[in-house]
Structure 1
């Protein structure tokens, strides 16, 4: 009985939060124009997709000689692969994601959850199987999967920083990691290494608040982590600005290098910007990784 009573406030909170979040994700997804190709990928299907210039390593059997005869170059006739892909997402639930530098601006966690759900809408519409890493929302297809994903995204992490879960990975699938990536990078590198073992590719989407990019602090300032585990007081915050910006630039460069080395894509998005370009980039990045 006591357990049921304890679950009731959470259930009521979910009932209030999930419909607006899902509605916002649906609305955001509707603003993105995907074009005629949608989720098409080259593969072993039967339907013609496009011609592409022949590359080194293409066999003579792959060349379309009729099309090539009309130009000085050789072309390969590609067919569309209709098989569904599996896409796994991880959205950082650490306390650092609850930061916002302006009361009128939503925290990073809100934007990260919105983007994760919106790209899920687009992928599920395209027939893909979508889920979260770990065991909370295994990959499935169908609209009802959105509610499962949204429910799992509302779970909190007790620490300032969270590490990606690297269980439940699927061979040759896709992986999306959304975080501020300001914590220890060991967990990110470990998850990407396990994904590589499964021949998975994916994207790193870094979500930052504009204040974290600009460091608009001066004079006496107390810096405290969102979980309260870290605290630093200074009388001249401006003296820290150049060192902070250098370290942030180093972190971005490290993420970009890590992504390139793994065949992934990296992008940094600010919560002061519209979510639409970030969603379009994320969807296109998943297409390019296919």
Structure 2
């Protein structure tokens, strides 16, 4: 856990928090903008100094600073523990790093964060961060990840990180449930580069990490086109789930820098990625 926390903190420091999720007017202490006074505005809302510089009346608006709640689902199933090379990070390690680094960024900005499986609502603070880090260091024995957004707070944010190679019904149901509750979020798929390239030839035994799925073939190369078609279909389905729900979707490979994924995720949470 200390190593994960250190890596996540270093990754979070590479980005500036900025004004995530708060760039509109509301209750707060930071100046947002001046706007022309409208019928119904109380006299105490008028900024008389600014109004004295023109022929009209102006209201000084503050930036909205209500904390948001962000739910993280970080897949820690056996499927996510795969890496094609010994010195390459696993899908689960990359997902855990990104989840924790984003949690640090969001908490530093005053947001509340939760992780599926913790059994606690979204919270801020060092204790919540330690709970998340500890949970991220405990892999699951399930073959594939399962997803359930039933306990997510309405109007909150959600980040689902997984390879999304398991039953697709669970993914579709979770996104649909979240969208019905006004939750905006991200489907972030993480794959090993081998899972994208399928470089296998000749006799090959394919076996899942959990041992629940196994297939042997003498001509692995003959499976490549069908495999790539199935993978493309899964990606299209994830993209469509996200689009229909007003969410964002992206696919990240573990041989790429974590910083690239962080930038995309941060912008996606703020509604700026595509």
> Which aligned pairs between 1:37-186 and structure 2 lie closer than 5 A?
37-45=19-27, 47-49=30-32, 80-186=63-169
Going from structure 1 to structure 2, the CA distance change for 1:231 and 1:170 (only over 3 Å counts) comes to same
Partner Cα distance (1:50, 1:215) in 2: 54
Q: Normalising by the residue count of structure 1, what TM-score does the alignment of the two structures yield?
A: 0.80
Partner Cα distance (1:196, 1:235) in 2: 45
Deviations 1:77-120, CA, capped at 9 Å, x for gaps: 98632100000000111100000011110110000000000000
Instruction: Give 3-state SS (helix, strand or coil) of 2:26's partner.
Output: strand
Structure 1 segments unaligned to the other structure (5+ residues): 1-17, 52-58, 62-76
Counterpart of 1:228 in structure 2 is 211
Instruction: Give 3-state SS (helix, strand or coil) of 1:101's partner.
Output: coil
Partner Cα distance (2:260, 2:155) in 1: 27
Instruction: Give 3-state SS (helix, strand or coil) of 1:32's partner.
Output: coil
> Which aligned pairs between 1:193-204 and structure 2 lie closer than 5 A?
193-204=176-187
Higher mean C-alpha deviation, range 127-136 or range 172-181: 127-136
Q: Is the 8 A contact 2:17 2:109 kept in 1?
A: no
Q: Normalising by the residue count of structure 2, what TM-score does the alignment of the two structures yield?
A: 0.85
> Which aligned pairs between 1:5-44 and structure 2 lie closer than 5 A?
18-35=1-18, 37-44=19-26
Partner Cα distance (1:81, 1:221) in 2: 57
1:153 Cα shift?
2.0
Structure 2 segments unaligned to the other structure (5+ residues): 41-59
Q: How many residues matched?
A: 252
Counterpart of 1:262 in structure 2 is 245
Q: Is the 8 A contact 2:118 2:131 kept in 1?
A: no
Deviations 1:222-262, CA, capped at 9 Å, x for gaps: 00011101110011111111111111111111111110110
Instruction: Give 3-state SS (helix, strand or coil) of 1:45's partner.
Output: coil
Counterpart of 1:238 in structure 2 is 221
Higher mean C-alpha deviation, range 150-159 or range 176-185: 150-159
